[in-house]
Amino acid sequence: MRILAAFAATIIGIAVTTAASAREVVPFQASVSPGTIVIRTAERRLYYVRGDGTALRYRVAVGKPGKQWFGEAQIDGKYVRPAWSPPAEVKRDNPRLPDVIPGGAPNNPMGARALTLNLDEYAIHGTNRPSSIGTYASYGCIRMLNEDIVHLYDQVGVGTRVVVVP
């Protein structure tokens, strides 16, 4: 019955959410191709554009003021429970961080999945701090709930276009 209700809600355009995720199906008209990821920093939302005039919308954490970036990138890697090496800027601000935090470790900020981008050291990834979702929290990466990054990871491939706008 629950699946039928979710299916019916999707068909008539009502947002679908679950307690374990922050994703929903929303109307979305944009000048980007289906399969594109659009991140609206001011909204702290990521949209995965579908071909039917809708998008999957996810709540995310974005870069802190002064750490944000805007423009286009492509996904250049997909990783399950990735290890994390703090970038030089993060290490400078937090010198006690280890050089590498193993994948799956409770203090690993990458979470369950990571989609790396073909510029700088940015990624769309899960988080070990779910309370940061919906805030300005990172050094430029896009954080998602682990349940949501797992879902998005299954939808996209290497080469997926990512557009980040204010």
Q: Is 125 a catalytic residue?
A: yes
Q: Which of 124, 137, 141, 145 is catalytic?
A: 141
Q: Which of 57, 113, 125, 143 is catalytic?
A: 125
How many Å from the N-terminal Cα to the C-terminal Cα in the chain?
40
Enumerate the β-bridge partners of residue 79: 114
Q: Is 151 a catalytic residue?
A: no
Which tokens in the block code for residue 4? 């039928």
Q: E-strand spans in 28-155?
A: 37-40, 45-49, 54-59, 62-63, 71-80, 113-117, 123-125, 136-138, 142-143
Which positions are catalytic? 125, 141
